[in-house]
Structure 1
Amino acid sequence: MTSISVSKATHEVMTTERVSALTNMAQKDSALISQLDKEISDAGAQANDLRARGMVSKALELEESVSSRAAAQRAQALARLNAGSLEIAHIKSGVAKASSLTPLLAQFLCLGFAMSLEIVPALILAGVRSSGRSSTGVVASEAIETPSLGIEATGLPEGVTETPETPKTGETLPDSNAEILKTLVAQAKTLAPGTPVRLKEFAKNSRIGNLRAGEIFRKAETLGVIKKTTIGYVAA
């Protein structure tokens, strides 16, 4: 705001001085034109007097010399007057436009510019933060939707991996877990105590999955025909 006021004051001083100089020059040119007109008039009177005395040639010489010199100077003065008038009009119109910017309006313009310097960077920063949060949310949702391999393996005995379960058909599988459990119990009774009973091998022979075999082994353990140790299931 201070710089605007200083610039405006400087402009007013410069234009005022220029207008004053042009006005003084116009006054001098106006006085010169009046003087030249008087010289032409006086020369005409003298030429008439010379003609009255019979000096026609001298009268013509006087009129030509004075009129040619005065006409040239008069034309130059008129040109300066016209140029000065146009420049004064241009300066005054510029001053009028500049004066239309009131101090209150200048303050509002400065305030708006200052606010834009603070608001625009804040909006850009907020947009960047929002974009970063959206990207984080997408990554998190993808991680939640992706199934975990560790979850599927929960419930299997240590050292046992999942074996794809053979599709159930009437020719390949017994009717229920009860029949498979009977087979496991019968097999365990034929083994000496402490003999390993391989869950994976039993699942393969019974053509069932490891998860289903694990459930049957736990039921057999509750019946006391097998027991679980650090090395796996063994006959009881």
Structure 2
Amino acid sequence: MLKYEQIAQQMNEYIENRHFQAGDKLPSVETLKEKYNVSKSTIIKALEKLEKHGTIYQARGSGIYVRNKQRDGYLNLFSTGGFRDEMVGLEVTNKVISLNEIKPPKSVQQKLKLDNNDCVYLLKRIIYVDEKILCYEESYFNKNIVLFLNESIAEQSIFKYLEQHLKVKIGFSDIYFTVDKLNAEDANLLELSEGDPSLQYEQVFYTTTGIPFDCSHLIYHYQNSHFYIPSQK
């Protein structure tokens, strides 16, 4: 975990422990810098992370304020931290359907900016929250970045593994949404009926230096998935 991420975590605990309410003002950047004994840039990055997560908002010329607490069980669509970071207090489990090393289709090759001879890991899995199906995930991982992946790792948090063991610095992502009806195969995987509604999206994750390493297609269970977007001015 990077220093600014540690500070963001400590600040979040500080907000929780002090029972701050929505609209309460937090100390200034200079005060936080002294409190945590870090550089101003580290505090700014920590605040950006908290703001992106929807914990705080910053009003230029006014200060830093606490936002309404995220509703339990809702997934922040703009998060790049993985499901476990979002579903705090809930049990997130993964069931791996398959994991193979393949030559990617052309569309994925272009999105991950791969050469013709490059291979990827193709992972298919079901993600559960408190034993209820959240979504079906089909992900292609750039092997130039994700050097090793197996089923044991895929049953846990892949992003935590990438950050802690492979030292991959996860940056940002692009998301493309589609609302559609389930075909027979996808309905069977989600334990729903063919023709049921679904929110589907393709998400491409990048490192902090802009290298795409994960192209995922997710199909959500319409009864068990809930989302929110912490908008910023």
* TM norm. shorter chain > 0.5: no
Larger relative CO (CA 8 A, sep 6+): 1 or 2?
A: 2
More helix as a share of residues: 1
Taking structure 1 as the reference length, what is the TM-score of the superposition?
0.15
More strand as a share of residues: 2
